[in-house]
Amino acid sequence: MRLVMMGPPGAGKGTQAQEISRRLDIPHISTGDMLRVAIRSGNEVGRKAKEYLEAGRLVPDEVVIELVKDRLSRRDCDEGFILDGFPRTVNQATALDEWLEGNGLRLDAVLDIEVPRDLLLERITGRRVCLFCGNTYHTVYNPPRVPEHCDGCSRELTQRLDDKEFAVRERLAAYDKQAAPLKEYYRRRGILREINGAQPIEQVGREIGKVLGRDWS
Ligand code: AP5
Ligand code: MG
Ligand code: ZN
C-alpha cells in the first residue's frame, strides 16, 4: 500500500505512521525525521535545512523532493510505503505524482488527521523523543515505562528543538497556508480520507484501519 499522512504539527502523523508501518510491514518515511538526522550528521542536506527547521519554516521544495525520490527508490519501498509530512506543498505533490507515474505506480490513500488547534499545543509541549531510535512519547498520553527514558534503548528522552514556542507558531502558520490547496489537490483525485485525530491514540488507529479496509480492533 502507498500512503501519505498529512495533518498539522502535533496531530499524531508520526505516532500513527509508526503503527501502520508495523502492521502493514512497509517503511515509515518521515521527511522531518530524515532532515533532523541529516542536520545531526552535518551533511550537505543538513546544512541546507538547518536554519529552516529551527525557525519552523518549510525547507525549499527541491531539497525535500530529491531526498524523498532517493528514499523511494530503495528496494524496501517496492511493496509500499507510508510518507509522513511529505508532500506539504502542491509543488511537492506534483513532483511525487510525476515520480510515481514514471514508475507505473499510484497512491492508494492520503490520510488527513484533523485535530482542533487547542489540542495540538498540549500534544507538542508534552512530546518527548528518543534521538537514537526515533521513538516518540508523551508525558501524559503515551508515557515511557520509565519516566524520561526510552522504552527501546533506555537512553534519556529530549524535546525537539523546533518544539519551542516561536517555532511551533511558525509551523502552524506554514500548515495553515499550505494545507488547504494540498487537500483540494488530493480531494479532486478522490483519495483524500479525513480521520478524526481528536481521540485516544488506539482509537485513531482503528479509524485508520477501517478506512484502509482492515480490522485493527
Ligand atoms: P515534521 O517533523 O514533520 O513536524 P510537523 O509536521 O510539525 O509534525 P510533528 O512531527 O510535530 O507532529 P506529528 O503529527 O508527527 O505528531 P506526533 O505523532 O509526534 O517537520 C519538521 C520540520 O521539518 C518542518 O517544520 C520543516 O521545517 C521540515 N520539513 C519536514 N517535511 C517537509 C516538507 N515536506 N517540506 C518542507 N519542509 C519540511 O504526536 C505529537 C505528540 O502527541 C506526541 O507526544 C504523541 O505521543 C502525542 N499524540 C499523538 N497522537 C495522540 C492522540 N491521539 N492523543 C493524545 N496524544 C497523542
Ligand atoms: Mg512527526
Ligand atoms: Zn531510544
Query: How many separate domains does the chain show?
Result: 1
Is the pLDDT at 217 greater than 90? The verdict is no
123 tagged catalytic = no
Atom of ligand 1 nearest to the CA of 68: 34
Statement: the pTM of the whole predicted model exceeds 0.85 = yes
Q: Is the CB of 8 under 6 A from ligand 1?
A: no
Domain CATH for 168: 3.40.50.300
Q: Average pLDDT of 153-178?
A: 93
Percent of the chain beyond pLDDT 70? 100
Residue 197: inside a domain, yes or no?
A: yes
Nearest Cα residue to 73 out of 46, 32, 103, 28: 103
CA distance 8 to 161: 17
Where do the DSSP E strands lie in 42-95? 81-84
Residue 48: inside a domain, yes or no?
A: no
Ligand 1 centroid – CA 147 distance (Å): 21
Residue 58: inside a domain, yes or no?
A: no
> Residue 166: which domain range?
2-26+79-211
